[in-house]
Amino acid sequence: DAGITQSPRYKITETGRQVTLMCHQTWSHSYMFWYRQDLGHGLRLIYYSAAADITDKGEVPDGYVVSRSKTENFPLTLESATRSQTSVYFCASSSGQGGEAFFGQGTRLTVV
Amino acid sequence: ILNVEQSPQSLHVQEGDSTNFTCSFPSSNFYALHWYRWETAKSPEALFVMTLNGDEKKKGRISATLNTKEGYSYLYIKGSQPEDSATYLCAFKNQAGTALIFGKGTTLSVSS
């Protein structure tokens, strides 16, 4: 299916475990982004990527790692999950700088 | 860190009322200002992308204006309907950055 998809949609993990959230888009958009949504904070940028093999930190990158070996995929890894990383994570993509962002359905992650 | 402010935080109106929200952003090095509509249990969807000072965009009963010199944008909804109930996000990008920075949103509730 065309579009941007995230997996899994829901995930429960234990403190200290590594977990990877997947994001896949079929438009060949250059730009991809990871945001987290928390009550009282809105959407905060974790990491972004301007192209394959180019990534950069956003507002709240600590505890997260990203990679972009292929244009269509932008996985987000929590190396050692903490309870403070319980959140809803949104992946987005856009075709150009400042262009409309298209969002995935979100992944609700709970760290217990 | 760029600061994007939205007001009010929440708003409750009656069906048929017209309403407006404000987004404030840094006025220097402006590149683009976006408005998104975010319904509960869905992903944000773009309403408008504005890039020029004085831009006015309209989609049905919803319109937006942009003042880049003073750093604000207004979103107007004419004749609010219950289906307009959602959180409205604005997002800003300056010339130096790559990613959109989002405000915390204005949550609109329209009762019939």
pLDDT in tens, B42-70: 999 999 999 999 999 999 999 999 999 99
Residue A83 main-chain phi, psi, to 5 deg: -60, -30
CA gap A59, A62 in Å, rounded: 9
Dihedral sign (CA A52, A58, A60, A61): positive
Question: Do A101 and B44 make contact, defined as CB atoms within 8 angstroms?
Answer: yes
In the predicted structure, residue B97 carries a pLDDT above the cut 80:
no
Q: What mean pLDDT is reported for chain B?
A: 94
CA gap B71, B53 in Å, rounded: 10
Non-local (6+) Cβ contacts of A87 within 8 A are: A36, A37, A38, A109
Specify the pLDDT at position A39: 87
Size of interface A-B (CB pairs under 8 A): 55
A45-101 residue pLDDT tens: 999 999 999 999 999 999 999 999 999 999 999 999 999 999 999 999 999 878 899
Specify the pLDDT at position B1: 62
Question: Do A35 and B105 make contact, defined as CB atoms within 8 angstroms?
Answer: no
Facing residue for B100 by CB, picked from A41, A50, A101: A101
CA gap B12, B10 in Å, rounded: 7
Is B31 an 8 Å CB contact of chain A?
Answer: yes
In the predicted structure, residue A41 carries a pLDDT above the cut 90:
no
Question: Do B98 and A100 make contact, defined as CB atoms within 8 angstroms?
Answer: no
Which residue from B106, B86, B43 is spatially nearest to A92, judged by alpha carbons?
Answer: B43
Specify the pLDDT at position A1: 60
Specify the pLDDT at position B39: 95
